């Protein structure tokens, strides 16, 4: 009798252990299935590339310095492109002059445009964006110094904005050709045509579309926009591919 009871207890214990193991295995399989479903239904968004983050920091740094130059008149005067000062050895003004503005309206439109276009360009290629900004800043200032001696002072990000605009249009054009998306290519062509039309309007009227230049007391310089636009298009369509790949 005792032997029978012992065998019965042993069988009951083994059955309990078997059921517990089965329950644990089922729970593990269920958890794995839920995790797999979550991966399929809600893929995790990949983190931003370090290069893009670095490009964003660069954009914010430029805008921050532009705000400082506007809020601090002494900084604005010390950083603006001033032909006489440049000829006396203050070469840094060739770059910092683009960070200065004549009034808040001028700063607001230039900075807002710079931020929107800059983010769109950096998202596609940090290398091309950096090359465009440096190239446009140097080319515009050099043009003022060498070919426009009548321009005693110059301020504004608009030349760099123009460079970013054509850079973005050029990169979109390249994407359209690569992917066979002719509608996207048509958008890029239309953007380029709109840029040229804007530059022609500014040259003919001596005014800008967004900023009241007369109230700010300055004359818009269409040549700066055209030079910036040319640099952006050149970099966007090619010529800086190696540099662009190194930043991606």
* Chain segment 205-232, per-residue pLDDT in tens: 887 777 766 666 677 889 999 999 999 9
pLDDT tops 60 at residue 29: no
Q: Does residue 65 or residue 21 have the better pLDDT?
A: 65
Q: Residue 2: which residues within 8 A CB-CB, separation 6 or more?
A: none
Q: Assess whether pLDDT exceeds 80 at residue 165.
A: yes
Banded model confidence at residue 18, pLDDT cuts 50, 70, 90: low
Average pLDDT (158-181) is 94
- List the one residue out of 178, 153, 177, 159 whose CA is nearest residue 223: 159
**pLDDT at position 171 over 50:** yes
Q: What is the mean pLDDT of residues 175-198?
A: 92
- Going by their DSSP bridges, the two strands 153-154 and 81-82 should be labelled as antiparallel
H-helix segments, 103-221: 104-124, 126-147, 158-179, 182-205, 213-216
Give the up-direction half-sphere exposure of residue 99: CA atoms within 13 A in the CB hemisphere: 25
Return the higher-pLDDT residue of 151 and 31. Answer: 151
Residue 49: pLDDT band (50, 70, 90) is: low
Task: Give me the pLDDT at residue 84, please.
Answer: 97
How many angstroms separate the Cα of 169 from the Cα of each of 51, 100, 109?
Answer: 21, 26, 20
Hey, which residues does 82 pair with through a beta bridge?
153
The yes-or-no verdict on residue 39 having pLDDT over 50 is no
Residue 54 reports pLDDT greater than 80? no
Higher pLDDT, 17 or 139: 139
Residue 42 pLDDT: 39
Task: For CA atoms 94, 107, 230, 171, give the dihedral sign.
Answer: positive
Give the residue, 16 or 219, on which the prediction is more confident: 219
Domain at 50-247: CATH code? 1.20.1540.10
3-state secondary structure of 154: strand
Is a pLDDT exceeding 90 seen at residue 156? yes
**What's the CA gap between 94 and 80, in Å, rounded?**
8
Q: Alpha carbon of 6 to those of 10, 16, 18, 100, 240: distances in Å? A: 6, 15, 18, 94, 85
CA distance 97 to 76: 8
Does residue 7 surpass a pLDDT of 90? Answer: no
Residue 70 or residue 178, greater confidence: 70
Residue 50's pLDDT band (cuts 50, 70, 90): low
């Amino acid at each position: 009798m005792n032997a029978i009871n012992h065998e019965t207890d042993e069988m009951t214990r083994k059955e309990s252990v078997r059921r517990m193991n089965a329950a644990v295995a089922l729970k593990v399989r269920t958890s794995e299935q839920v995790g797999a479903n979550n991966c399929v239904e809600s893929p995790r968004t990949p983190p931003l590339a370090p290069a893009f983050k670095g490009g964003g920091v660069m954009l914010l740094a430029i805008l921050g310095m532009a705000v400082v130059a506007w809020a601090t008149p002494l900084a604005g005067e010390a950083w603006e492109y001033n032909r006489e000062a440049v000829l006396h050895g203050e070469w840094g003004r060739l770059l910092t002059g683009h960070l200065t503005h004549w009034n808040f309206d001028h700063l607001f439109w230039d900075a807002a445009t710079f931020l929107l276009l800059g983010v769109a360009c950096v998202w596609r290629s940090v290398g091309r964006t950096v090359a465009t900004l440096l190239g446009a800043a140097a080319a515009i200032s050099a043009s003022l110094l060498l070919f426009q001696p009548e321009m005693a002072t110059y301020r504004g990000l608009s030349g760099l904005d123009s460079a970013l605009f054509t850079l973005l249009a050029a990169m979109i054009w390249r994407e359209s050709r690569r992917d066979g998306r002719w509608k996207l290519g048509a958008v890029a062509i239309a953007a380029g045509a709109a840029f040229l039309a804007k530059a022609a309007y500014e040259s003919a009227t001596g005014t800008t579309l967004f900023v009241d230049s007369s109230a700010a007391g300055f004359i818009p310089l269409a040549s700066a926009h055209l030079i910036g636009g040319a640099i952006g298009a050149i970099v966007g369509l090619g010529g800086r591919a190696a540099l662009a790949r190194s930043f991606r």
